[in-house]
Structure 1
Amino acid sequence: MAGIPEFSAVTTLDDQQIDYYDSNIMELIPRKNWIKDFASTHMWKQDIKIRKHVQQIYKNNIHVVMQRFNQSHGVHTYQRMYGCEWDDETEVLQGFDQYAYDGEDFISLDLKELRYNTPVTQAISTVQKWNNNRAQLESLKQYYEDECVYWLKEFLTLGKADLEKTIAPEVSLLQKHPSYPVVCHATGFYPSGVTITWLRNGVNHHEDVDLGELLPNEDGTFQKTSYLRITPDEWKKNQYACVVEHMGETIKRILTEDEIKSNNSKLLIVPPDFSLQDEGDQMISCKIV
């Protein structure tokens, strides 16, 4: 599709994007000021080479998967999401490694059992092949238990000030037209934890309410919306309010004609990668989370 890179890869740390690469720019771009010094190191240059190599692997893989689904054309996506979570208090590690095709689960790695699983028949041959390669599985286990956690802690130290900041949300009530739902829009907040609820005459109101997904903003903050389907007569006869809670602070917006604004709000990592082909698999090691 025009304007969309054939391949892209990002690294996130506590829901913040810290770098970006795609097949158009062919460079690894730092997204945070605190990582720019790291971007001048030899390892950063190695990461660029790795992503270029992975780009070619994924280009080959998507054609293999298309064949397995009996597809010869069209726009399709092949994705991998992986990383690790570490709890300093309990020292509990949780790693994840998941593949998807066209937005649906394709292959996932069970680190406890140290084996791959799949919910679709089209991936069975790949899962069997990867599970039979114990050397690669052991290498992945070492990556998630050692290297991934090491670099997670390193980046947490580098970005400590940025990650510990707190930014309150800006909350607005929006509506395009009286026949459209009223939107409670919270944006520009950090960290990502936020709750949005509606009150009707001071009581929690759940009917005709739809909660939107948490979305990232370009500056590293977040946004979230909640939709209330209601007629003008209903909200003029009763008092409706949107309540946004973030980091112990509460913001309340009462639904009135004066409060409603026009809807002009802004909307908006790599361990070994495997080839899906039967021959020539190659494991790529890298040290980012």
Structure 2
Amino acid sequence: MEGLIPCFRNPPDPTIMRKVVFFTLILFCTDSTFAVSHSLQYVYSGTSEIPNLPEFVVIGLVDGEPFVHYDSNSHKMTPRQEWMARSEGPDYWNKESQNLHGEESLFKNNVDVAKKRFNQTGGIHTFQRMYGCEWDDETGATGAHEQFGYDGSDFLALDLKTMTYVAPVMQAAPTKQKWDRDNTRKDRYKRYFTQECIEWLKKYVSYGKSTLERTVRPEVSMLQKDPSSPVTCRATGFFPKGIVVTWRKDGVDMHSDVEVGETLPNGDGTFQITSKLTVKPEDWKMNSYSCVVQHKSLQDDIAVLLEEKNIRTNQGGISWGIIVGCVAAALALVAVVTGVVLWRRSRTGYGKAGTSYTDSENSSQQQPKVHPP
């Protein structure tokens, strides 16, 4: 789990940057679904010894769209969407900035505590938290999630049904035991996740309704490096991010020899995804293969036949430089670099930035800092 970060004043070490960029891709790799749901997600990240990166960064997302940002260099919560900037006044931003400024010392302490528990001293280390909620505006169903990680691995996760924590590593056991015994803390957080977070999610959705509920149809193309390489079906420029890309052989969905990529941001508010098919040229020339794309913006599915005329070749391949360039555009837009590789399987929304859950082992217990209704 690496850190979140806004723009770079001085470029970090290339090795570190490559890791950071990779983890940035992971942050936005949420699985694609067609659920009519909205999510509020926050990621807090504390880091140590990463050159030119703030030690503490927070990014907030509504429906996967970054809408607020905070870091320990500026000490300010700032909007990342026009609809957010025009919907809240100075009091909101000042209160959020004050609340998150208080989180900085907690997160720095959490990194130090984790290092001691893992018998570590110096070096690059990260402590991260993701939390929030989800709401289906058709069925009314809601959900919530809270999870902590350290150095790219799961550290602690909340079981909302029992309001107890799951500790996958022995170093997290002291925190689990402390929080599981604290009934006041349990009641406070349960109320937040089941009520207050949902209320704020609905409010933010109403702010950005025209943006969050827009639809943009995907552009679909096929790429192949050379005749012996897998064929890549690429859908790009779509919104919302929920999408399904499948390969069919003679009209039947394929499940083998297919590798579906992650949904990634383009940097302009739209998304892209790829799906690779490994097939011999003589095979696809003798059978009917097609890439089929389903998306909310489409009245009918897009189906592209695997034919030579539909394939664009790329003899040079897609270079790392191009990937970094694309991600850099996304970084400039959302002002965040994060390491969330440990939570690839956690795809739902998260919570309210103004709520403090990061009770350090060596700090006094914090009360949730929740926005007024």
Q: TM-score range by the shorter chain?
A: 0.7 to 0.9
**Partner residue in 2 for 1:256:** 307
Partners of 1:7 and 1:252 lie apart in 2 by: 45
Judging changes above 3 Å, is the alpha-carbon distance between structure 1 residues 273 and 167 closer, same or farther for their aligned structure 2 residues? same
Aligned match of 1:101 = 150
Q: Which residue of 1 aligns with 2:359?
A: 275
Whole-Å separation in 1 of the counterparts to 2:300 and 2:82: 28
Distance (Å, rounded) in 2 between the aligned partners of 1:2 and 1:154: 37
SS at match of 1:258: helix
Once residues 202 and 147 of structure 1 are traced to their aligned partners in structure 2, the CA distance between those partners, rounded to angstroms, is 47
Is this contact kept in 2: 1:166–1:190, CA < 8 A? yes
Q: Does 1:285 align with 2:369?
A: yes
Tell me, what secondary structure is at the counterpart of 2:308?
coil
Q: Is the 8 A contact 1:30 1:39 kept in 2?
A: no
Say whether the 8 Å CA contact 1:189–1:223 is kept in structure 2: yes
Choose from 231, 239, 244 the match for 1:195.
Answer: 244
Q: Deviations over 1:218-274 (max 9, x none)?
A: 233222111112333433444422111112431122223332223668743422233
Gapped runs of 5+ residues in structure 2?
1-49, 328-351
Structure 1: segments with no counterpart, 5+ residues? none
Q: Could you say if the C-alpha distance between residues 4 and 172 of structure 1 is closer, same or farther in structure 2, counting changes exceeding 3 Å?
A: farther
Computing the radius of gyration over CA atoms, which structure comes out larger, 1 or 2? 1
Relative to the length of structure 2, the TM-score reads 0.69
Written as runs of structure 1 = structure 2, the 5 A alignment for 1:33-182 is 33-88=82-137, 90-182=139-231
Give the AA of the match of 1:254: L
Answer whether contact 1:108 1:117 (CA < 8 A) is retained: yes
- State the one-letter code of the partner of 2:309: D
Q: Distance in 2 between matches of 1:87 and 1:203?
A: 31
Per-residue deviation at 1:161?
Answer: 1.5
The higher relative CO (CA closer than 8 Å, separation ≥ 6) is in 2
Cα RMSD (Å) of the superposition?
Answer: 2.6
1:23-74 Cα distance to aligned partner (Å, 9 max, x none): 3454333222211113533112211222232233212211211221222233
> Aligned pair 1:186/2:235, yes or no?
yes
* Partner amino acid, structure 1, of 2:219: E
| Structure 2 CA distance for partners of 1:208 and 1:73, relative to 1, 3 Å | farther
Counterpart AA for 1:286: V
CA contact (8 A) 2:133 2:143 kept: yes
- Aligned residue pair count: 288
- The alpha-carbon distance between structure 1 residues 91 and 184, as it changes in their structure 2 partners (threshold 3 A), is closer
CA distance in 1, matches of 2:123, 2:284: 46
Aligned-partner Cα distance in 2 for 1:9–1:206:
38
| TM-score calculated relative to the size of structure 1 | 0.87
Residue 14 of structure 1: CA displacement? 1.8
Kindly, what percent of the aligned residue pairs are identical? Answer: 41
Report how far residue 146 of structure 1 moved.
3.0
Q: Distance in 2 between matches of 1:31 and 1:105?
A: 29
Against the structure 1 CA distance between its residues 39 and 69, is the aligned structure 2 distance closer, same or farther, given a 3 Å change threshold?
same
For residues 66 and 175 of structure 1, do their structure 2 counterparts lie closer, same or farther at Cα, with a shift above 3 Å needed?
A: farther
